Amino acid sequence: MNKLSEKQIQQWNTHGYLHLESVLDDEQVARFVSEMDRIRGVPGYEPDNDPELPIGHYKWLESARDLDTEGFMDRRDLLIYGKDFINLMDQTPLFDYILQIMGPNIMLSMTQAIVRNSSDTFPGYTHTDGGESLRTIQVTEGSPPIAMKAMFLLTDVTEKDSGNLTVFPGSQRNQIPYGGDEVMTPYSPGAHQLMGKAGDVYLFPHSLWHGPAKNISANARKILLYNYCQLWVRSYDHNVTPDIAKQCSPRQRRLLGDLGYDFRPGSHFYVPKDQEEVMRTA
Ligand SMILES: O=C(O)CCC(=O)C(=O)O
């Protein structure tokens, strides 16, 4: 099993994020970029201004609103789009690192593909993931997170204000002010814009304050997000159709919530006896 170094663990514990280089090779990056271009033109969950929808909820649309491959897109529930998206959930060595950080009792909780287009008007934003509740829970140093995400860069982000992931290092345990008059942005004190190359991955827990900076570069910034949670939290994504289940390995099916028996009270709290073995078998 691949392991994070002591230095990486210290970085994770202190700053609340990790930057892993060249997790995807050039061929994978090109394939996922082309897949993102393709799925823009087919139905899926996208944000919508429909006033009937609760805040932050997505709507099933016939395509992304912008069909230009460099235009904005925010697509959820990616596993329906094929095996490449399915296999990304437990690719070696990244999944070994996720197991090291979270332990074996986990699920895949969400998948997302975002294109942040070049724009003079998008100001960026800052938030935690998991909504109002998870933000209030800061686990102690060395504890596995309740939920975390892997952000795959599919384009180079080598200058500031190129749609960079912007983080507030340490805010996974010492929350920054929120809820008052002060609205935190990617330009508030303590914010740090990350750079990286296509194929790199950032790992961070949902409780770290983060978000995209503005993108005034000439290029669209393209990413994939795969989120993981402790098993008892349960997924907030994925329609696991028979077609998806058929394409999955036993480990992938377990990550999608198939415990090997029908769901009943008690499921998801005490894990199946083979949980660790299943998680450690690629
Ligand atoms: O960088 C983005 O476009 C959005 C990323 C983000 O805010 C998130 O991962 O929650």
pLDDT of residue 269: 82
E runs forming strands in 14-57: 18-20, 44-47
Q: Give the type of residue at 178.
A: Y
Atom of ligand 1 nearest to the CA of 149: 9
Closest C-alpha to ligand 1, atom 1: 212
Instruction: Report the separation in Å between the CA atom of 177 and the middle of ligand 1, taken as the mean of its atom positions.
Output: 19
Looking at residue 62, what is its pLDDT? 97
Q: Is the CB of 124 under 6 A from ligand 1?
A: no
Q: How far apart are CA 105 and CA 90, in angstroms?
A: 14
> Using a 6 Å cutoff on CB, does residue 222 contact ligand 1?
no
Ligand 1 nearest atom to the CA of residue 165, by list position: 1
Atom 8 of ligand 1: nearest residue by CA position = 211
The residue to mutate among 225, 226, 227, 237, having the most atoms of ligand 1 within 8 angstroms of its beta carbon, is: 225
One-letter amino acid at 76 equals: R
- Give the pLDDT of residue 236: 76
pLDDT at 237: 78
DSSP state of 66: -
According to the model, what pLDDT value does residue 234 have? 78
Would the CB of 196 count as within 6 Å of ligand 1? no
Q: Which residue, among 246, 165, 243, has the nearest Cα to 201 in the 3D structure?
A: 165
**Any atom of ligand 1 within 6 Å of the Cβ of 47:** no
Between the CA of 166 and the centroid of ligand 1 the distance, in Å, is 9
Looking from the CA of residue 125, the nearest atom of ligand 1 is 7
Instruction: Tell me if 89 CB under 6 Å of ligand 1.
Output: no
What's the pLDDT score for residue 214? 98
The residue to mutate among 126, 165, 209, having the most atoms of ligand 1 within 8 angstroms of its beta carbon, is 165
pLDDT average per 10 residues of sequence, the chain (282 residues)? 95 97 98 98 94 89 97 97 97 98 97 98 94 84 94 98 97 79 89 98 96 98 97 82 95 94 84 95 92
Interior CA angle at 196 toward 186 and 46, to 5°? 60
Cα–Cα distance measured from residue 202 to residue 153, given in angstroms and rounded to the nearest whole number:
8
Atom of ligand 1 nearest to the CA of 74: 3
* Confidence (pLDDT) at 133: 83
**Ligand 1, atom 6: nearest CA belongs to which residue?**
211
Measured from the CB, is residue 200 less than 6 Å from ligand 1? no
Copy the structure tokens of residue 127: 């938030």
